[in-house]
Amino acid sequence: MTDPATLADRVQAGELRLYELEAESDPETAAAARRHLLERETDVDLDAIGDYTFDAAETDPNVENLLGGAQLPIGVAGPVPIDGGAATGEFYLPLATTEGALVASLNRGLSAIRAAGGATARVTDSGMTRAPVFRVAGVGEAETVVDWVDNHTDHLRETAESTTGHGELLAVDPYVVGDSVFLRFVYDTKDAMGMNMATIATRAASEVVEAETPAQLVALSGNLCSDKKPAAINAIEGRGRSVTADVVLDRALVEDRLNTTPEAMVEGNTRKNLIGSAKAASLGFNAHAANTVSAVFLATGQDAAQVVEGANAITTMEIRETGLYASLSFASLELGTVGGGTRLPTQAEALDVLGLAGGGDPPGSNADALAEIIAVGALAGELSLVAAFCSRHLSSAHERLGR
C-alpha cells in the first residue's frame, strides 16, 4: 500500500488531485496524505487535526477531501424535567461550545426550571420544505400552472412519495411573481431533518409539472423554501419543527435563584427582546436562543448552518398570580435524529445521552423530542440571561468565570 508521504508527493507533482486519493489508498491513508501535503505547504503541524476517533471510511456521506477532525469541548447541563408531547422525563443537555459561561448560564436557568417542577413543551407543527421556481410566459400561464397543481396534488404526492420510503407530501403552496411560479412543497420527513429527502422528492414532482403544464423549471430551489438564510416565510409558516416551551416560576424562586423580580424580568424582556428586536426589524425576538440551538446542534450532529432558522424564536414573559410566566416559541427548528452527522460516533453518543439516537416509535417522535428538549434548554438560557442583565450581573459573571 502506498504510504501517505508518497501520495503527497504525487499530488504536489500534479499526478493526482486531492479528491482522487481514496482511489489510490484506503480513506485513513488518504486523509494522512492530505495532512502531509498541507504540513509541507503551510509549515503547520496538523497532529491535533489528525487525532480523531471516527472511522475515516464512514465519513463519506458527510465530507469530501477528509483531512482530520475538529474537536470542540462538550459540556453538560441539567437534568431538567420536561412534560413534552414526545419528550417526557428528565434530560441532560450535551452542549458543544467554545463560549465561556454559556453552559453555566443554561445550567442556572435549568436549575430554576427544575425547582419549579419542570417545563412544558410541545411541537405544534412540522414540515420540511423545498420550493422550486418555474418560468412561464406570463400571468395567464401562471394561472394555468396554479390551477393544475391545485387539481392534481394527489398525482404530485404519489410521484414525490415514490422516491422515499419515509417522507410524506403534506402540501404544495403556489406563489406567483410575474412570469415566475414558485411551488413550496411541504413534507413530513419523520425523524430525518429531511432536506435531501425533500429535494429528491421535489425533483421528481417538478418533472411532472414540466410535463403537464407550460412551466419550465429554472431552479430546484427558488429560495422560497427558505434554507439557511433569514426569511420571514419561515417565521410565519414554519419549517422543520415549530415548538414552544413554557414554565411558571414562583416569585420566591425568581428572587432566590435568579436574583431579580418577576416585574424586572417582564420589563427587561419587553424592552430588550420585543421592542429592541422590533426596532432592529429582527426576525428573532429573543435574547440568545441561537446559543443553545448551536451548542446542541454541534453536539448531536445537526446541520450547523440551519442555526440561522433556529434563531427565529420569540420569548415572552408576563406576571402571573404566583410569579413569572415565561415561554419561548421556535418557528423553524430544522433537525433530525437519523442521517447526516447524527451517525458519527461522538454525535451518536450525545443523542444516546438524550435517549434519542436513531428513529423513533412512532416515526418522527425522536426528532420531536429533540426539538422539545432544545426549546426547554433555550428557555432556560433566556431566563438566565434576562435575569443577568436585569440584576446587572452579566459582565460580572463573565469576569468571574474568566471569559
* Most distant CA atoms of the chain, gap in Å: 76
Q: How far apart are CA 103 and CA 292, in angstroms?
A: 9
Helices 102-115 and 365-390: crossing angle in degrees, nearest 10, is 100
Q: How far apart are CA 226 and CA 238, in angstroms?
A: 10
Q: How far apart are CA 340 and CA 334, in angstroms?
A: 12
Q: How far apart are CA 175 and CA 80, in angstroms?
A: 43
Helices 102-115 and 289-300: crossing angle in degrees, nearest 10, is 100
User: Any bridge partners for residue 169, and if so which?
Assistant: 187
Pairing of strands 88-96, 133-135: unpaired
Rg of the chain on CA atoms, in Å: 24
With contact defined as beta carbons under 8 Å apart, do 328 and 379 qualify? yes
CB-CB neighbours of 46 under 10 Å:
17
Q: How far apart are CA 297 and CA 228, in angstroms?
A: 14
Angle CA 323–324–330, to nearest 5: 160
Q: How far apart are CA 172 and CA 134, in angstroms?
A: 14
- Which residues, 6+ apart, have CB-to-CB distance to 15 below 8 Å? none
Active site residue 393: no
132: its cell numbers: 422550486
Pairing of strands 119-130, 74-84: parallel
32: its cell numbers: 494522512
Q: Residues of 139-157 as b/e, b for ≥16 C-beta within 10 angstroms?
A: eebbebbbebbeebeeebb
Q: How far apart are CA 31 and CA 22, in angstroms?
A: 9
Catalytic residue among 188, 267, 303, 349: 303
Query: 3-state DSSP call for residue 80?
Result: strand
Catalytic residue among 28, 99, 143, 158: 99
Active-site annotation, residues: 99, 303, 398
